[in-house]
Amino acid sequence: MTIKSNVFVWSFGILILNLIIKFVFIDYPPIGGDEPFTIFFAQSDFTTLYEMFQTENNPPLYTLLLKVWISFFGISPLSVRFLPTIFSSLTAVALFNFGTKNFNFRTGILTSLIFTFSSYHIFFAHETRPYALFGLLSVVSMITFFNLKREFSRKNIFLLSLFNSLLIYTHFFGFFMLFVQLLSLCFDSEFKLNWKRYFISWTLTAILYTPYLSLLFFRFGQASKGTWVDEPTITELYNNLWKFSNQPLNTVLFLTILVTALVFFIIRKEKFHHASWTLIIWFLGMYFLMFGLSFKIPMFLDRYLVYISFAYYFLIALSVDYIFKHKRWKNIITVVIAILMVVTTNLRAGNERKHDEIADFVRLKASKQTPIILCPDWYFRTLSYHYNKKYFIDYKNTISCLKAENIHPANNFEELSNSNLEDSDTLIFIDTGSKLVDPEGHLFNQLSTSRKIIGKNQDYQAITIFTLIKD
């Protein structure tokens, strides 16, 4: 077999492996978190979408792709989650090809396998959010970045411009990848020969992104006033690597490998290859940069670090190749790492909030005309998805449909002024994170003024259901 055909066979095998293991539990856990928000607006008209993007934390590309997707395949869990599963599976192939092309076969295959069996990435393969696409475009962007260095052509300039544009139209943190490329260029010994081709590409990227620049600056201005993310603690530097690596044992082993490779590098007094410098900037540079910036604008959240995890995996694979000089030991350690990732992976990665069971509970109470309060109000999307998809699809009337069945989304007591709650002796309060919108608990206190709590169901993880009855 030729080298190209061999790479194709391995790429196909990696793709099939990823599709299989990420498809097995694709419907677990039930649709929840931010997924209903994305699905809800993806089915809406463009006017509603435009208004939503004025306050959304993600650019529009993924939602628009999902809009097209569900117009053909509907909004079932299998449908809406198969799209990120495809993106995640293609990322494994892209990692293999990037490693094989820029380093060697072993680096490519080990990096791809670490990614494939990372519970962290399996979670994003099952989440109807932009992070799987964000990851794929981050890797593809770097592939085209190196392709342009090897071959100066209009095709490569256009492809880098295109993929970088798609990247930052998927997530605002895609700009960090462009920053990685800029810093990487500064460490390039052929800087004087290459800067013009990249300047052309980045200029085209800026032109392609011009329609969204005003909204970018607006969202940045909003974020500078504070975000919902907390300031990081020093322990999060380790905890996020733990998430990348599945288990503490793996994390300690991987860090030991990375530190050992660094010590060997210092002892041997060798120079890093330009591609290796890029990976160091990509991982350590961006990891500590985002950690530092988070004390000004909190952003050090595991899902926002998706693009950094790939460089971490590459450096582990490269370090194994660097530390061990004999092929036999390189292969043994590669197999050991792959086995550790396989045995520690969680194919059912995700939170276990039982939104479908909550919908069943609400269905039972609604049939008895018991008023049900949802707080925060945005939970109406999650509930309606599981409670009655017809209500969910009728996005302009979803809330009125729920209210007609005595289900009332609310963030404060004033929003319930026309709900006729006093006509019922029993009331249900579903708390899905009320402190986010009502830190002092005024809504619940008002509801319990003339009622007493006779039931408190905490069987749904972070969601608590209170049953109140008149004194």
- Give the integer Cα–Cα distance in Å for 308 and 8: 26
- Specify the residue for token string 């699905």: 39
413-451 pLDDT, tens digit each: 989 887 778 778 889 999 999 999 999 999 999 988 888
Q: What pLDDT shows up at residue 187?
A: 82
Q: Say yes or no to pLDDT of 203 above 80.
A: yes
**Which tokens is 185 given?**
């260029």
Q: Percent of the chain having pLDDT more than 90? A: 72
Asked if residue 38 lies in contact with residue 388, where contact means CB atoms within 8 angstroms, the answer is: no
**Which tokens is 27 given?**
């419907």
The crossing angle, in degrees rounded to 10, of helices 61-73 and 35-42 is 70
88-111 pLDDT, tens digit each: 999 999 999 999 999 999 999 999
- Give the integer Cα–Cα distance in Å for 40 and 284: 37
Number of other residues whose CB lies within 10 A of the CB of residue 450: 12
Q: Per-residue confidence at 290, pLDDT binned at 50, 70, 90?
A: very high
Q: Per-residue confidence at 224, pLDDT binned at 50, 70, 90?
A: low
- Give the integer Cα–Cα distance in Å for 371 and 108: 57
Q: What pLDDT shows up at residue 221?
A: 64
Asked if residue 132 lies in contact with residue 84, where contact means CB atoms within 8 angstroms, the answer is: yes
Q: Percent of the chain having pLDDT more than 70? A: 96
Q: Which residue has the higher pLDDT, 191 or 329?
A: 329
The SS3 assignment for 155 reads helix
Task: Report DSSP letters for 407-471, one per residue.
Answer: EEE-SSGGGGTTS-GGG-SEEEEEESSGGGT-TT-HHHHHHTSSEEEEEEEEEETTEEEEEEEE-
Task: Report DSSP letters for 14-40, one per residue.
Answer: HHHHHHHHHHTTTT-S-S-TTHHHHHH
Q: What pLDDT shows up at residue 67?
A: 97
384-420 pLDDT, tens digit each: 999 999 999 999 999 999 999 999 999 999 898 877 7
3-state helix, strand and coil shares in percent for the chain, rounded to the nearest 5? 65, 5, 25
462-471 pLDDT, tens digit each: 889 999 998 7
| DSSP summary character for residue 211 | G
Half-sphere exposure of 178 (CA within 13 A, CB side): 23
The SS3 assignment for 372 reads strand
The SS3 assignment for 128 reads coil
- Give the integer Cα–Cα distance in Å for 387 and 207: 45
Q: What pLDDT shows up at residue 339?
A: 97
- Give the integer Cα–Cα distance in Å for 232 and 68: 37
- Over residues 127-135, the mean pLDDT reads 97
Q: What pLDDT shows up at residue 2?
A: 53
- Give the integer Cα–Cα distance in Å for 58 and 433: 22
Asked if residue 65 lies in contact with residue 11, where contact means CB atoms within 8 angstroms, the answer is: no
Q: Per-residue confidence at 72, pLDDT binned at 50, 70, 90?
A: very high
Q: Say yes or no to pLDDT of 157 above 70.
A: yes
Asked if residue 353 lies in contact with residue 460, where contact means CB atoms within 8 angstroms, the answer is: yes
Instruction: Go through the chain and tell me how many residues it has.
Output: 471
3-13 pLDDT, tens digit each: 566 888 999 99
The least confident of 85-99, 125-139, 174-188 is 174-188
- Give the integer Cα–Cα distance in Å for 296 and 305: 17
Q: Per-residue confidence at 223, pLDDT binned at 50, 70, 90?
A: low
- Over residues 141-159, the mean pLDDT reads 93
Instruction: Give me the sign of the Cα torsion angle 82, 88, 90, 92.
Output: negative
- In this structure, what are the phi and psi dihedrals at residue 162, rounded to the nearest 5 degrees? -65, -50
